[in-house]
Amino acid sequence: MLRVLVVGVALVALVVFSAVLARLTLTPSPVSAEIAGANLRPGRSLRQYLEDYTFLAACKQIGGNLLLGAPFGLLLPVLVPRRMRVVRVVLLTAVVMVLVELAQGAMVEGRAFDVDDVILNTGGALIAYLLVGRRIGRRFRALEPVSGPSVKPRKLSRRPVKPAKGKSTG
């Protein structure tokens, strides 16, 4: 029962997070319409943040993108199978973020696809997973009932052991 509740809470949190993600990333930005351009070269936007922005603005851009991916690292450990969980969390986050960036570039005024955003969002999910999400996943899995093939203990033979020929027993 607790397990079902936890999964339900994680799903609701993921839906709420998806709504926030959509609001933050798919809202038009007419102010940026003239300067927004697609970035397909990893590191290009990061260099621009560090060279052209103030320190605080660069921290907001980089930190904001890291934070935007963090909920995936916290919620997905409850929803994905245990086997290769970190790989699944990273891949699912990257796929979702690529789709968000593609939608931004194709449909939203003043927004464009940026591979650095995908990298930072995915990095945020990985960091959150390593710091907290892994423990969340372990605790959640501890709620699972122990299942598997039942193994019956082997019966030990009760036959008397015969002494070897020619040797005395006492």
Q: What is the pLDDT of residues 6-54, one digit of tens each?
A: 889 999 998 999 999 988 888 888 777 776 788 999 999 999 988 988 9
Q: Which residues of the chain have pLDDT under 70?
A: 35, 145-164, 166-170
Q: What is the pLDDT of residue 88?
A: 94
Q: What is the pLDDT of residue 29?
A: 81
Q: Quick one: which H or E segment has residue 88?
A: helix 85-107
Q: What is the pLDDT of residue 82?
A: 83
User: CB neighbours of 81 closer than 8 A, spacing ≥ 6?
Assistant: 88
Cα Rg of the chain, angstroms: 27
Give the span between the Cα atoms of 68 and 86, in whole angstroms.
18
Say what the pTM is: 0.78
